Structure 1
Amino acid sequence: MAELSPNPAPDYGMISTLWQVHQDADWPVSGDTHEGELMTLDTVVAGCVTYFLEERELDAQRVGILQDCLADLESLMSDLDSEAQTYFERLQQLGGWILQSRART
């Protein structure tokens, strides 16, 4: 009998569903000093997610961009209030899932 992984890699449907949740969410209003940077990160990661959902893959350039954005986002997380953290944790999860999905192919 095959052993099941405790954290199975996300599939396209999971990514698509979480993306819809993210698109339906309101922008977190916090007056954060990093708001401009957060908006840019949200836009760039969203572009990578959209590309992945349309093409079912990311090219090497987008992989690098996504990895950089996720690292930048991680460095800002401790400064965010709880509403913003929820919003950006979901964005991080989306980016991470895409990178995991890419690694499986």
Structure 2
Amino acid sequence: MNREMLIKLWQAHKNDEWPHVETGQEGPLMTLDTVISGCVVYVLDGEEDLDEQRRAIVSDCLAELDTLEIEINDECRSYFGRLREIGTLLLITT
């Protein structure tokens, strides 16, 4: 089930440390992480599906992550790859 995978990935994400990110990318990536994380909490704590506005926001975050991910260093890839997977699961689970 996608929800179970979302919970598993979310737990791993919460337990991971923020990666070392290039200075110019840190702010935008931190914002994406915060927004997607907020949507996860909304879904898991309230056990509600994302509304259309939140779905659009997550979709926009994933598109921006596509752009920024090209430039991140290898040590950050697993962290933001997992964030991408969490965002994608949010869209297909809810």
Note whether the superposition's TM-score is higher than 0.5.
yes
Check whether the contact 2:36–2:58 (CA below 8 A) recurs between aligned residues: yes
Q: Is 1:97 aligned to 2:89, yes or no?
A: yes
Q: Is 1:33 aligned to 2:24, yes or no?
A: yes
Identity %: 43
User: For residues 46-83 of structure 1, what are the alpha-carbon distances to aligned partners after superposition, in whole Å with 9 as ceiling and x for unaligned?
Assistant: 00111111223101110011000110011111100112
Q: In the comparison of the two structures, how many residue pairs are matched? A: 93
> Match for 1:23 among 14, 17, 30?
14
What is the Cα-based RMSD across aligned positions, in Å? 1.2
Gaps of 5+ in 2: none
Partner of 1:45: 36
**Normalised TM-score (structure 2):** 0.91
Q: Which amino acid aligns with 2:53?
A: Q
Q: Which amino acid aligns with 2:92?
A: Q
How far apart are the structure 2 equivalents of 1:32 and 1:25? Answer: 20
Gaps of 5+ in 1: 1-9
Moved over 3 A (4+): none
Q: Which has the higher helix share?
A: 2
How far apart are the structure 2 equivalents of 1:83 and 1:53? Answer: 28
Check whether the contact 2:19–2:75 (CA below 8 A) recurs between aligned residues: yes
Q: CA deviation at 1:11?
A: 2.2
How far apart are the structure 2 equivalents of 1:101 and 1:40? Answer: 22
**Normalised TM-score (structure 1):** 0.82
How far apart are the structure 2 equivalents of 1:30 and 1:91? Answer: 15
Bigger Rg, which one: 1
